[in-house]
Structure 1
Amino acid sequence: MQIVLVLESSTLGIVIPILPFLSPRLGASDFDIAMIIASYAVCAGVAGPWWGKLSDHIGRKPVLMICTTGAALAYVLLASAQSLTMIFVARAFAGLMAGNFGVASAMMADITPPADRARGMGMIGASFGLGLVLGPVLGGLLSGPEGSFVVPCLTAAVMSVLAVIAAWFFLPESHHRDKSQPQTQERKLSLWTVLRKTQSRLLMLQYIWHTASVSAATYLFPLWVYALLNWSAREVGIVFGVQGALMALTQGLLMGPLVKLLGELRLLRVCVSGFFVGLLFAVFAQGAVSMVGSVLVALTGATLCMPVLNSFASQRAVPELRGRMMGATSAAAAWGRVLGPLLAGALLTVGGFRLAWSLPLGMVAMYWLWAFSRWPKRPVPIFDPNTQG
């Protein structure tokens, strides 16, 4: 699974640093760029729960392969885009195919016991981190000084095809459904019912706050360093590559020991605090060192939060509903990616970068209050679809 995730996340990383530089050539404003980023997230938010539910019924592996094939087609569309409309279409289609993270999280939950769940989720994050080391660097280098996006996008398409081939040969199925059992009651359960019975609605809100803050920072940073330092896609790609390396290191090597040392909830509180401090410094940063350093601190704190949230969510549903639960978390995260860039783009237009950076700072402040509230301490019953209530 790690091989597939590294290849797939590399393709996403290739596109991230070039989108803010690609779109203005076709007449896009800063707000248009935010809308392009949001179009991907909106479609991912709509499709995420459906992919998770489908993986509960036909298995995780087929869904991962379908989504990755769709991603390859989306990158070909983006490479051939000659208008702003085609960029919107390509990114929207990519969003519809973006079911991999939720399904991969469900697959990891299938094969790890609850005590090791956060570490397992950290391995998924580490795989994405390794991809995000390779991807942004490739995107920045392949775009060249002139900022071409055709070669990076076609490279992303080829890597997606390689991910499909790797999944076909090397990825075992983790969810083996007992077809002799009746499916009627399970099929009738709405996503809202699952979230209500597992007491997960407030948890979904934290996914929104988390990803809205991260996506706002990811959206603002390239524009920020371009405006103040005249950086290009190459420099932005290198910074995102460094962040990917930190993500792989912290989630792959440190997540397990930190969970054993602090426990999941205390670790979440420490990491949210680091996230907040980094964004606070970003509001007032001026030079290259302070700008890059503040963002790296913030995103490293955010990196360690997500495996803990995924561990919380995965333990709240039985295997028959786990794909739907993790699909819901993927959708909530996607809607956060809609909210973050849109609001950050609007604030940037109205009041400049300092006001725009105050948006993720405020969201993380609410995230911090939740992490230190009484709610996460409460034991939450695992929902069994065969239990009435």
Structure 2
Amino acid sequence: METGQESRNQENSPEPIGESISLLPLLTVNFIGVLGFSIVLPFLVFLVNRLGGNAFIYGLASSMYPAFQLIGAPVLGRWSDIYGRKRILLLSQIGTLLSWIIFLAALFLPVSTLLKVDSGVLGAFTFTLPLAVLFFARAFDGLTGGSVSVANAYLADITEEKDRNRNFGKMSISSNLGFIVGPALAGILSVTQYGEAAPVLGAIAISLIGIAVIMFYIPESKECSLEGPVDSEDMRKLFGYGIKECWTAREKTGKPSFTGKPSFREVFKLPNIPYMLSLYFLIFLGFNIFYTSFPLHAIAALDWSIVEMGIYFAVLSGLLIIVQGSILPRLSKRYSDASLIIFGSLMLGTNFLLLIPGDLFLTYLATGFFALGDGLMWPSFLSLLSKIAGKRYQGTVQGFASGFAGLASITGLILGGLLYEMFAGRAFLLAGMVIYTVFLLNFRLRRFEKDLEY
């Protein structure tokens, strides 16, 4: 006969969760999140120019999201370790919805001048009221934009280590599907009578769907939440949630062990984590120089329209899906994460160099190198990072990684606009050099994998 205490102990003991939680709702949320972002990607540069900005302002506007994500993502990642992944995913998605509503309002404001600048370095631009509100909208989305880091932590929660590479590949596929549908949808909606407002309305509708999916189809992935801080009463009231004691997964003895909240200093003392976060920073630096420079390059050197820009991103994302859906699963069975990261970074760096001449054929040839490089490198890198982080610090490490990505994005997006203003297509040379540096540094990851075996 069970006593009351024995019954409570059985209720509190951890159960295996990886087999009971489906990936589909999480992949859907990730797809929706990327779709909401990518739907405005093709026309953002045109919108900034129409409202008075130039290449520098476009880079600055693009950097507002990562700048405030640098503040928000580590906090949200840590909260997800304390309060649970689902509630923080929901908080992040609500923030995204509100940001798009503010973005929409900016489109209907009078284009009144706040500041005029004519600089030899920054170029000539007019900072207007709609631009200021647009900046605020992107900043607010960034502040609550921890969904990627929390989703990665969620995926690590429900996936065994041997399946990490494959499942992070599935996560990347869902992201790339968003990048296919988003730009294509933007191209279709932007030519309607509603103009630029139509894609933003689409982003609002997509965000509402994301909230519904999280509320009704995403279960909590953590067996429990880490012990909360003493001053967390307001957070508990906000979410209607009482913090439970947390027990880690069973150790070899079969007995769970109690853990407290992870501290930031403690996380930075974890073996190999600082090195991985440095690589995370450099990878995002190279990416974001590209993401700012390429739309400017497409207009100036290739004379592309919004529709042609959408087609390019759709082709690029389609190739990424082929690599991550077909090639990555096969190669991940034969090669380690570190080997795929090394080879992928070499291919990715080569892609950037092919963009420099501004030739249409080389531009589309570069998409193959981009897809092969990013498609093999990035899921493998996320897989290795999650293994090194371990279960206890998963959300906190992923939050810090997003923070490092935010810092790199601020630097890369602003630098990309300035570099293209001064050097045109040669701005891609710097992006290539950054990724080639990552390629050389990645050889150390082989040792990290060996450390995990012991």
TM-score w.r.t. length of structure 1 = 0.91
Partners of 2:101 and 2:322 lie apart in 1 by 32
Q: 1:144 deviation in Å?
A: 1.8
Among residues 180, 188, 199, which one is paired with 2:245 in the alignment? Answer: 180
Q: 1:375 deviation in Å?
A: 4.9
Name the aligned partner's letter for residue 378 of structure 1.
F
Partners of 1:173 and 1:181 lie apart in 2 by 14
Q: 1:256 deviation in Å?
A: 2.1
Structure 1 equivalent of residue 6 of structure 2 = none
Q: Deviations over 1:158-184 (max 9, x none)?
A: 101001111222112111216334999
Among residues 72, 87, 94, which one is paired with 2:134 in the alignment? Answer: 87
Structure 2 equivalent of residue 230 of structure 1 = 303
Q: 1:140 deviation in Å?
A: 2.0
Residue 58 in 1 paired to residue 58 in 2? no
Residue 156 in 1 paired to residue 203 in 2? yes
Q: How does 1:39-58 map to 2 (within 5 A)?
A: 39-58=64-83
Among residues 342, 360, 370, which one is paired with 2:414 in the alignment? Answer: 342
Structure 2 equivalent of residue 367 of structure 1 = 438
Partners of 1:298 and 1:351 lie apart in 2 by 22
Structure 1 contact 45–332 (Cα < 8 Å) conserved: yes
Structure 1 contact 137–237 (Cα < 8 Å) conserved: yes
Residue 196 in 1 paired to residue 269 in 2? yes
Q: 1:91 deviation in Å?
A: 0.6
Among residues 31, 34, 58, which one is paired with 1:9 in the alignment? Answer: 34
Residue 294 in 1 paired to residue 366 in 2? yes
Partners of 1:220 and 1:296 lie apart in 2 by 19
Partners of 2:396 and 2:385 lie apart in 1 by 11
Structure 1 contact 52–99 (Cα < 8 Å) conserved: yes
Q: Deviations over 1:36-64 (max 9, x none)?
A: 11111111121111111111111111111
Structure 1 contact 316–380 (Cα < 8 Å) conserved: no
Q: 1:195 deviation in Å?
A: 2.4
Name the aligned partner's letter for residue 128 of structure 1.
S
Q: Which runs of 5+ in 2 are unaligned?
A: 1-25, 110-129, 226-243, 249-257
Q: Deviations over 1:208-246 (max 9, x none)?
A: 111121122122111111112221111111111122222
> SS state of the match for residue 187, structure 2?
helix
Q: How does 1:164-313 map to 2 (within 5 A)?
A: 164-177=211-224, 179-181=244-246, 186-187=260-261, 189-283=262-356, 285-313=357-385
Q: 1:147 deviation in Å?
A: 9.5
> SS state of the match for residue 205, structure 2?
helix
In 2 relative to 1, CA 19–80 (structure 1 residues): closer, same or farther, beyond 3 Å? same
In 2 relative to 1, CA 376–332 (structure 1 residues): closer, same or farther, beyond 3 Å? farther
Name the aligned partner's letter for residue 425 of structure 2.
F
Partners of 1:87 and 1:276 lie apart in 2 by 32
Residue 378 in 1 paired to residue 403 in 2? no
Structure 1 contact 282–295 (Cα < 8 Å) conserved: no
Partners of 1:359 and 1:156 lie apart in 2 by 33
> SS state of the match for residue 388, structure 2?
coil
Structure 1 contact 198–380 (Cα < 8 Å) conserved: no
TM-score w.r.t. length of structure 2 = 0.79
In 2 relative to 1, CA 215–90 (structure 1 residues): closer, same or farther, beyond 3 Å? same
Q: Deviations over 1:111-133 (max 9, x none)?
A: 11111111111111111111111
Q: 1:300 deviation in Å?
A: 4.2
Partners of 1:47 and 1:140 lie apart in 2 by 31
Count of paired positions: 378
Structure 2 contact 346–439 (Cα < 8 Å) conserved: yes
Name the aligned partner's letter for residue 323 of structure 1.
G
Structure 2 contact 338–446 (Cα < 8 Å) conserved: yes
Q: Which moved more, 1:314-323 or 1:1-10?
A: 314-323
> SS state of the match for residue 28, structure 1?
coil
Partners of 1:290 and 1:254 lie apart in 2 by 23
Partners of 2:39 and 2:141 lie apart in 1 by 14
Identity %: 27
User: Which structure is larger by alpha-carbon Rg, 1 or 2?
Assistant: 2
Partners of 1:260 and 1:86 lie apart in 2 by 49
In 2 relative to 1, CA 303–16 (structure 1 residues): closer, same or farther, beyond 3 Å? farther
Q: 1:145 deviation in Å?
A: 8.0
Structure 1 equivalent of residue 162 of structure 2 = 115
In 2 relative to 1, CA 120–262 (structure 1 residues): closer, same or farther, beyond 3 Å? same
Q: 1:71 deviation in Å?
A: 0.6
In 2 relative to 1, CA 147–348 (structure 1 residues): closer, same or farther, beyond 3 Å? farther
Q: 1:137 deviation in Å?
A: 0.8
Q: Which runs of 5+ in 1 are unaligned?
A: 383-389
Partners of 1:358 and 1:52 lie apart in 2 by 34
Partners of 1:335 and 1:303 lie apart in 2 by 23
Q: 1:247 deviation in Å?
A: 2.4
Q: 1:352 deviation in Å?
A: 2.3
In 2 relative to 1, CA 65–181 (structure 1 residues): closer, same or farther, beyond 3 Å? closer
> SS state of the match for residue 60, structure 2?
helix
Structure 2 contact 68–142 (Cα < 8 Å) conserved: yes
Structure 1 contact 216–360 (Cα < 8 Å) conserved: yes
> SS state of the match for residue 428, structure 2?
helix
> SS state of the match for residue 155, structure 2?
helix
Structure 2 equivalent of residue 385 of structure 1 = none
> SS state of the match for residue 304, structure 2?
coil
Structure 1 contact 129–246 (Cα < 8 Å) conserved: no
Name the aligned partner's letter for residue 186 of structure 1.
G
In 2 relative to 1, CA 240–26 (structure 1 residues): closer, same or farther, beyond 3 Å? same
